Amino acid sequence: MTRPAVLIARRIFPAVAERLAAHFDVETNDADTLWSREELIQRLQGKQGVFVTTGEPIDATLIAACPDLKAVCSMAVGYNNIDVTACRARGIAVTNAPDVLTETTADFGFALMMAAARRITESEHFLRRGAWTKWAPDFFVGADIHGTTLGILGMGRIGQAIARRGALGFSMNVLYHNRSRLAPASEAPIGARWVDKATLLAESDHLVIVVPYGPASHHLIAAADLALMKPTATLTNIARGGVVDDAALAMALRSGRLGAAALDVFEGEPAVHPALLDVPNVVLTPHIASASLPTRLAMAHLAADNLIALLTGGTPRTPPLEPTTC
């Protein structure tokens, strides 16, 4: 019996690639080239499955040009790079990698928020360039975290994990805005209170953004939204580039309209808006919120398990995505 053929679109952990090779005829990307849509289409001819990450464009054009494809399995939780509607219309199953990265990503979001509030990278750069000559009472004074108001925009699994850290570890007052309210039983242990977006922006000392990206969340935080925030507030984006208008953010930071920011994701990444690079009060990291080794391994194994199940008649560990869940 011929084995299904799959493409692993990026270089992944050898142990995961080996597991896939035990089940499938596998084409790998050992050079870790960022293949264009056209290159992906060419490599997907005759392939039944594809293992993808955050950025490969699995769009309607690609789907129409890859008639053998049956399963698209991503090791990322966000899937704005995949047209789930087009896949489902062609009977292609799509899975992402939820849950396994929740706590690690929440740790990182919290760390970024603290780094922005307490000016950690800004003061480190100062030290490294040899500018430190004396201690002073007002030296790199920042904002407190404990006892302040944490605002979460997007209260899914990761948002709730950040809220738990704030409420239970740092005595923070938790506000959130989300399309749907949490059940009272989920709000109560962390004292979380649903508010409208304008109230969230106006009352948060530290805003953390964790919404999925799509047309409805493009520039969800733009200049007019930043204008509602406290001038001492911090903003942390670990969601997706494009949710925040990076140019407007850079301007707000530079003008003192906003206290500080921390960004792990950027519109058009890996390019970073040049205005951000010149602003001292922003912490910038290269999309690594889920990047602990155990978590990245767990994400990759989950995607591999799903691909194996979907192409061998098994049940995937996480249910295939529906267009309505986009």
Rounded distance between C-alpha atoms, residue 237 and residue 240, angstroms: 7
- Dihedrals phi, psi of 71, to nearest 5 degrees: -145, 135
Q: Are 16 and 38 in contact (CB under 8 A)?
A: no
Specify the residue, 49 or 78, whose C-beta has the smaller distance to ligand GLV.
Answer: 78
Q: Annotated catalytic residue: which of 11, 37, 157, 287?
A: 287
Using a 10 angstrom Cβ sphere, with 0-12 exposed, 13-18 middle and 19 or more buried, the burial of residue 275 is middle
- Dihedrals phi, psi of 91, to nearest 5 degrees: 80, 20
Specify the residue, 221 or 299, whose C-beta has the smaller distance to ligand GLV.
Answer: 299
Rounded distance between C-alpha atoms, residue 92 and residue 171, angstroms: 46
Q: Annotated catalytic residue: which of 269, 273, 296, 301?
A: 269
Centre a 10 Å sphere on the Cβ of residue 134 and count the other Cβ atoms it contains.
5
Host H or E run for residue 125: helix 120-128
Fill in the amino acid letter for 207.
L
CB of 101 to ligand GLV, least distance (A): 6
Rg (CA), the chain: 21
Token pair 């699995």 is found at 58
Specify the residue, 130 or 215, whose C-beta has the smaller distance to ligand GLV.
Answer: 215
113: left (phi > 0), else alpha (psi -120 to 50), else beta? alpha
CB of 94 to ligand GLV, least distance (A): 14
Specify the residue, 53 or 204, whose C-beta has the smaller distance to ligand GLV.
Answer: 53
Is there a catalytic annotation at residue 23?
no
CB of 305 to ligand GLV, least distance (A): 16
Q: Annotated catalytic residue: which of 19, 240, 296, 301?
A: 240
Strand 93-95 with 193-194, pairing: unpaired
Tokens standing for residue 102 = 């929740």
Rounded distance between C-alpha atoms, residue 34 and residue 37, angstroms: 10
CB of 156 to ligand GLV, least distance (A): 12
Using a 10 angstrom Cβ sphere, with 0-12 exposed, 13-18 middle and 19 or more buried, the burial of residue 145 is buried
Is there a catalytic annotation at residue 125?
no
Specify the residue, 48 or 290, whose C-beta has the smaller distance to ligand GLV.
Answer: 290
Specify the residue, 100 or 283, whose C-beta has the smaller distance to ligand GLV.
Answer: 100
Rounded distance between C-alpha atoms, residue 291 and residue 128, angstroms: 25
CB of 320 to ligand GLV, least distance (A): 17
Which residues contact ligand GLV by CB under 6 A? Answer: 54, 76-78, 101, 290
Is there a catalytic annotation at residue 240?
yes
CB of 325 to ligand GLV, least distance (A): 14
What residues are labeled active site? 240, 269, 287
